[in-house]
A and B are shown apart, each in its own frame.
Chain A
């Protein structure tokens, strides 16, 4: 086992440590050849408790997740970075600061394209979010371990503190006192109400209106209290208000697309907007009134737009720039032996998986029946699971990923199922037993050849390489997989577009998707038996047409309580059913990270928040 493989195994273990018992972590760690002190550190970092899987802050329900649809198939990891060695002693990366923070200094943060807008509600790019995150603030943010921490709220509303009513439909937010907007105006509950009004206004151009559909009303009994009433329970209620925008410094909501605010934002965050030279730079400067004494440490951050990766990595290596967002694997290679730049990663949210169509394609019927000639047979699907050499993909084909056993082995759910071991002999014997006999190089059963088409999207090399590796693996067990990749817009098209995955006209799909911190809506959309896309349900995403009544019941149970333990139990059952039925074969999960100057300290790389989420803690060594 070479060093990288070991590191990756450790990364997986670290990710899972919160869900495993102390004994189990110890056993697995020792099996990997880790020393006892390292495992102890890891356990400490992950909550050293045999029974409780929840470390720090109160386990609340909640969640984030911008929405339902396609929770971001394939975006960020495109640029994510390797350097698995830096996974450190926690599943996320915490900078080991060399001494006390010092104030002062300006850093250059390298972006690869110009942000589009500083108004999150009209649908900004994730590049723009890196900037707005230091200017605007949410009511609550996600800590790297998946727990919630109040930001503009005084506390997280829970059942215990009465913040959420017994019927789960009323959420009362207490706001932090004495917070000022960057222009000196006081922050009040009315701003939260205004943010809701803007975010839920479809006609004004809000891109997130559907996230607020369950909100019946937002009331402000006093300046520091917000009462949100829901028409039905929203498991993502803590993450409802991701950005608070000021009523006094914006404009009429109907004119939201044209607000000056969109290019000149006023927030409550640690940094104030100073200047935006289109496609060149955005400068933010220290907010002197920031609520935490002495913070932020930095005087200013220049977000520089540097489109050429060669130029970005050269500026990092020369010490002129301090953060480089998502360095590609080429840049990361250059940084590997540098004492000026370091790459730091955290587990990503993007999981690559092979998804089978359980229903017959091209029969002008988007429904579940009749079954697919190949994938209608669970034994056939399982054989593919054993035939794919995922070790080779994670360790030889890609360099920025870890093997994952279930698409639900993510975040705080971290479902645990039997791993798909690479075993071509087992695959062959399963196929033989199921009646798929070799006829020449390809298997056959009742005149049906074991041939299928795998659809992915074009232009993303890591996925294309994986497809080629899988094609080879399957050929070895007598299954022919043809690769037909299509344009992004086709593969992720809508029902109205007649996209093949909507109408059920495909054999297998190969792409990456992920869950945000609050995954419930996405899980329901993708795996609930009622989510099969059809004329009457065009936004369903159960493209694989995997219909199990018990899965529906477990998902309904998970969605009706804020208690994470109960929810996790139910998701675990779904994950086990998925392992048993094999409608989806998970391949790998991408890691994500940035490159940092070795002079920059105080940062934490988190799976859940944008890279600048803790910029108030960053400081520059002099």
Chain B
């Protein structure tokens, strides 16, 4: 196992290098460039623009730019963001906690809701509860989430009022109320709508997945054997069925980890959440190469690592699988 992990980690290096070359090349090949943002602003003269271009090193050939970039990245220096006008790491450091906070909460909420529902719908297959949940999960999977977000604002911010004060029931955005001391309730109030928006489709997805997985396991011989031995139904479900059904779900969750880093653009835009999704979008919009490359490469690294993690966890949970 140890050897396997080390070998996979070593193999990840050339893989990431190839990814970085492809992405760097693609970004450069795409029309437009970081100078577009300056030109669009309109207030710079030709000479000033040339000087800015020179200073950003954008007039060098692509391979020279890549060489400079990669030689700094190996020292973990991602350079200076063009749009943020500060080191890329500083920009990410400001946004990452906000994203982890939102996505992490949404992820935990998702698991807390999806697991019991997934198990119950499988155990009580074709009951009214199963039918209702199945219907709702289809809705959750197919509703465009930006539309759901706007609907939440309409209902909870515009239509419904807070019965204890004159304001709206829930805030339309932001992480906390400005000019107030820290209050847990205030933080939670600001989380409710964005987390609802994020979890809606996530819960639906995990629930469907767990239900299918549970159904498969419940009809296995060893479950029947456990029942025949006279084990209590609750123990059969939790210890014998669920533990095995959860294995693919764990893999799925591990593969979703990079998402928690990269954020959710729609949710962040609609609820004015200062997270990574918006940072990435702005960087892409303005062709902020250093910032784009940093986010893409960190995400790529996380994907490689979470794949490895999924494999390792899988092997650990399922003794039939051996990694070599």
User: Which residues in A have some Cβ–Cβ distance to B below 8 Å?
Assistant: 66-75, 106, 108, 113-114, 116-117, 122-123, 125-126, 202, 205, 207-211, 257-258, 262-263, 277-281, 283, 300, 302, 304-308, 310-311, 314-315, 317-318, 320, 487-490, 492, 494-496, 513, 538-539
Q: Are B272 and A263 in contact (CB under 8 A)?
A: no
Query: Is B278 a contact of A279 with CB atoms below 8 Å?
Result: yes
Known pairs A122-B85, A283-B178, A314-B158 / 9 extra A-B pairs, C-beta < 8 Å: A67-B45, A106-B179, A116-B84, A209-B48, A257-B80, A279-B275, A310-B153, A311-B272, A314-B157
Q: Count chain A CB atoms within 10 A of each CB in B47, B269, B278 and give the residue with the most.
A: B47
Q: B278 near A69 (CB under 8 angstroms)?
A: no
Task: Verify A305–B274 contact, CB threshold 8 A.
Answer: yes
CB distance from B143 to the nearest CB of A (A): 17
Complex Cα spacing A75 to B298, Å? 33
* With known contacts A68-B46, A494-B50, A302–B178 Cβ distance under 8 A: yes
B43 beta carbon closer than 8 Å to chain A: yes
Give the complex CA separation of A82 and B240 in angstroms: 67
Question: Are B269 and A307 interface neighbours, CB within 8 A?
Answer: yes
The complex places the Cα of A68 from the Cα of B274 at a distance, in Å, of: 36
Q: Is the CB of B40 within 8 A of A75?
A: yes
Q: Which of chain B's residues have a CB closer than 8 A to the CB of A258?
A: 86
What separation, in Å, do the CA atoms of A281 and B83 have in the docked complex? 17
Stretch in B116-124, B166-174, B205-213 touching the partner: B166-174
**Residue B69 at the chain A interface, CB threshold 8 Å:** no
- Chain B interface main SS type: helix
B46 neighbours in A (Cβ, 8 Å):
68-69, 494-495, 538-539
Closest chain-B Cβ to A216's Cβ sits at a distance in Å of 18
B57 at interface, CB cutoff 8 A = no
User: What A residues does B270 contact at CB under 8 A?
Assistant: 308, 310-311
Q: Bound state CA distance, A117 and B48, in angstroms? A: 18
Contact between chains at B36 and A314 (CB < 8 Å): no
Q: Which residues of A contact B278 (CB under 8 A)?
A: 279, 307
A72 to B41, CA, bound (A): 6
B227 at the interface (CB under 8 A from A): no
- Residue contact A496 to B83, C-beta cutoff 8 Å: no
B279 located at the interface, meaning its Cβ lies under 8 Å from any Cβ of chain A in the complex: yes
A70 and B179: CB pair below 8 A?
no
The residues of B with any CB-CB pair to A shorter than 8 Å are: 31-33, 35-52, 55, 80, 83-86, 91, 94-95, 98, 150, 153-154, 157-158, 168, 172-175, 178-179, 268-272, 274-275, 278-279, 282
Q: Verify B269–A489 contact, CB threshold 8 A.
A: no
**Is B48 a contact partner of A208 (Cβ separation < 8 A)?**
yes
Contact A75 B269 (CB under 8 A): no
Instruction: Give the distance to chain A from B77, nearest Cβ to Cβ, in Å.
Output: 14
Of all chain B residues, the one with the shortest Cβ separation from A493 is B39
Q: Which 7 pairs show the lowest CB-CB distances between chains A and B?
A: A72-B42, A279-B274, A66-B43, A539-B46, A278-B94, A69-B45, A210-B45
- When chains A and B are docked, how far (Å) is the Cα of A495 from the Cα of B46? 9
Q: Report yes or no: A489 in contact with B84, Cβ–Cβ below 8 A.
A: no
Known: A75-B41, A487-B32. A277 touches B274 (CB 8 A): yes
Q: Are B150 and A310 in contact (CB under 8 A)?
A: yes
Please name all residues of chain B whose beta carbon is closer than 8 Å to the beta carbon of A277 when the two chains form the complex.
94, 274
* A278 near B43: Cβ-Cβ < 8 Å: no
**Closest chain B residue to A258 by CB distance?**
B86
Chain B nearest CB, measured from A259 CB (Å): 10
Enumerate 8 A-B pairs (CB-CB under 8 Å) in ascending A order: A66-B43, A74-B42, A209-B51, A210-B44, A280-B175, A280-B274, A308-B269, A317-B158
Q: A68-B46, A315-B172 are in contact. Are A308 and B39 (CB under 8 A)?
A: no
A67 adjacent to B43 (CB under 8 Å)? yes
Min CB distance, B91 to chain A, in Å?
7
Known: A305-B272, A311-B271, A490-B31. A279 touches B279 (CB 8 A): yes
Q: A72 to B269, alpha carbons, bound, how many Å?
A: 27
Q: Which of B39, B80, B275 makes the CB contact (< 8 A) with A70?
A: B39
Q: Please determine whether A74 and B85 come into contact, CB atoms closer than 8 angstroms.
A: no
Known contacts A311-B173, A318-B168; A70/B42 CB under 8 A: yes
Question: Are the CB atoms of B31 and A207 closer together than 8 Å?
Answer: no
Cα–Cα, bound, A302→B179 (Å): 9
Contact of A304 among B31, B83, B154, B174 (CB under 8 A): B174
Docked Cα-Cα span, A513 to B42, in Å, equals 9
Nearest CB of chain A from residue B105's CB, rounded to whole Å: 17
B51 to chain A, nearest CB (A): 6
Minimum CB–CB distance from A234 to chain B (whole Å) comes to 14
CB pair A307 B272 closer than 8 Å: yes
| Chain A residues positioned under 8 Å from B83 (CB to CB) | 116
Interface centre among A70, A108, A280, A496 (most CB of B within 10 A): A280
Smallest CB-CB separation from B46: which chain A residue?
Answer: A539
A123-B52 in contact given A305-B272, A305-B274 (Cβ < 8 Å)? yes
Which B residues lie within 8 Å of A75 (CB)?
40-42
Q: Distance (Å) between the CB of A112 and the closest chain B CB?
A: 10
Measured CB to CB, the closest approach of chain B to A595, in angstroms, equals: 16
Give the contacting residue for A314; candidates B35, B47, B153; CB below 8 A. B153
CB-based contact A257/B158 at 8 Å: no
A281 vs B279: C-alpha distance when bound (angstroms):
15
Least CB separation from B175: chain A residue: A280
Q: Which of B36, B39, B41 contacts A126 (CB 8 A)?
A: B41
Docked CA distance A607–B153 (Å): 34
Most chain A C-beta atoms within 10 Å of own C-beta, residue among B172, B278, B282: B172
B79 to chain A, nearest CB (A): 12
A519 shortest CB reach to chain B, Å: 13
Contacts of A317 in B (CB 8 A): 158
**Residues in B whose Cβ lies below 8 Å from that of A300:** 179
Which residues from chain A contact B37 at a C-beta distance below 8 Å?
Answer: 125
How distant is B197 from chain A, measured CB to nearest CB, in Å? 12
What B residues does A116 contact at CB under 8 A? Answer: 83-85
Please judge, given known A-B contacts A68-B45, A113-B282, whether A308 and B35 are in contact too, CB under 8 Å: no
**A210 lies within 8 A of B47 (CB):** yes
Check A205/B55 contact, CB under 8 A, given A122-B85, A257-B80, A311-B153.
yes
Q: In the assembled complex, which residues on chain B have CB atoms less than 8 Å from the CB atom of A490?
A: 31
Would you call B44 and A69 a contact (CB within 8 A)? yes
Question: Chain A: which residue is nearest B47 at the CB level?
Answer: A210
Flag if B274 contacts A487 (CB, 8 Å): no
Assembled-state Cα–Cα distance A106/B178 (Å): 11
When A278-B91, A489-B35 are in contact, do A262 and B42 touch as well, CB less than 8 Å?
no
Q: Closest chain B residue to A122 by CB distance?
A: B85
Chain A residues closer than 8 Å to B52, beta-carbon distance: 123, 205, 207
A539 to B275, CA, bound (A): 40
Nearest B residue to A486 via CB reads B31
Minimum Cβ distance to chain A for residue B306 (Å): 26
Across the interface, name the chain B residue whose C-beta is closest to A516: B43
Q: Which residue of A lies closest to B42 (CB)?
A: A72
Bound-state CA distance A315–B91 (Å) is 27
Q: What separation, in Å, do the CA atoms of A305 and B175 have in the docked complex?
A: 12
Chain A contacts for B282, CB-based, 8 A = 113-114
Question: A207 to B44, Cβ gap below 8 A?
Answer: yes
In the complex, how many angstroms separate the beta carbon of B174 from the nearest chain A beta carbon?
A: 7
In the complex, chain B residues whose CB is within 8 Å of the CB of A495: 46
Question: By the criterion CB–CB under 8 Å, are A488 and B36 in contact?
Answer: yes
CB–CB A318/B158 < 8 A? yes
Cα of A607 to Cα of B4 in the assembled complex, Å: 67
Give Cα A513–Cα B32 distance, bound, in whole angstroms: 20
Of A66, A113, A315, A489, which one neighbours B44 at CB under 8 angstroms?
A: A66
Which of B47, B49, B174 contacts A280, CB < 8 Å?
B174
The complex places the Cα of A27 from the Cα of B179 at a distance, in Å, of: 55
Q: Which residues of B contact A302 (CB under 8 A)?
A: 178-179
By the criterion CB–CB under 8 Å, are B272 and A488 in contact? no
Give the shortest distance, in Å, between A508 (CB) and chain B (any CB).
21
Contact of A492 among B39, B45, B157 (CB under 8 A): B39
Residues in A with CB closer than 8 Å to B179 are: 106, 283, 300, 302
